[in-house]
Amino acid sequence: MLPALVVFGVFVVAPMIDGAWISLFAWDGVTVGHWVGLSNYREALVDPLVREAFGHSLVLVGFYAVLPITIGLFLTALMTHARVRGGAAVRTIIFLPQVLAAVVVGVAWKWLYDPSGPINSLLGAVGLSSLEHTWLGDFSTALPAVGVIGTWVTTGLCLVLFVAGVQRIPLSRYEAARVDGAGPVREFFAVTLPGLRNELAVAMSLSVITALRAFDIIFVTTKGGPGNATTVPSLLIYQRAFITGEVGSAAAIGAMMGAIILLLSVVITRVVEERR
Q: Is 150 in the site for other proteins (CB under 8 A)?
A: no
Of residues 33-92, those binding other proteins (CB under 8 A) = 71, 75, 78-79, 81-84, 87, 89-92
Nearer of residues 142 and 221 to other proteins, judged by Cβ = 221
Near other proteins in 194-213, by CB under 8 A:
198-199, 202, 205-206, 209, 212-213
Which amino acid belongs to residue 178?
Answer: R
Q: CA-to-CA distance for 225 and 139, rounded, in angstroms?
A: 8
Which residues does 199 contact at the CB level (< 8 Å), separation at least 6? 161, 162, 164, 165
Between residues 46 and 99, which has the closer beta carbon with respect to other proteins?
Answer: 99
When binding is defined by CB under 8 A, the residue of 31, 116, 140, 172 that contacts other proteins is 116
In the complex, the smallest distance separating the C-beta of residue 2 from other proteins, rounded to whole angstroms, is 8
How many residues contact other proteins, by CB under 8 A?
A: 98
Distance of CA 70 to the CA centre of its chain: 14
Q: Quick check: 171 binds other proteins (CB under 8 A)?
A: no
CA separation for the pair 246, 75 (Å, rounded): 46
Confirm or reject binding of residue 222 to other proteins (CB under 8 A): no
120 and 132 Cβ atoms separated by less than 8 Å: yes
57-65, 129-137, 138-146, 240-248 -> range binding other proteins (CB under 8 A) = 240-248
Site for other proteins, residues 120 to 149, rule: CB under 8 A: 120-122, 125
- Residue 16 binds other proteins (CB under 8 A): yes
Chosen residue from 55, 238, 239, 245 binding other proteins by CB under 8 A: 238
Q: Is 161 among the residues that bind other proteins (CB under 8 A)? A: yes
Asked if 250 touches other proteins (CB under 8 A), the answer is: yes
Stretch that binds other proteins, among 46-54, 57-65, 105-113, 131-139 (CB under 8 A): 105-113
From the number of C-beta atoms within 10 Å of its C-beta (0-12, 13-18, 19+), residue 56 rates as buried
Give the three-state DSSP class for 101.
coil
**Phi, psi angle pair for 230, to nearest 5°:** -125, 25
- Quote the CA–CA distance of 237 and 235 in Å, as a whole number: 5
- H-helix or E-strand spanning residue 35: strand 34-35
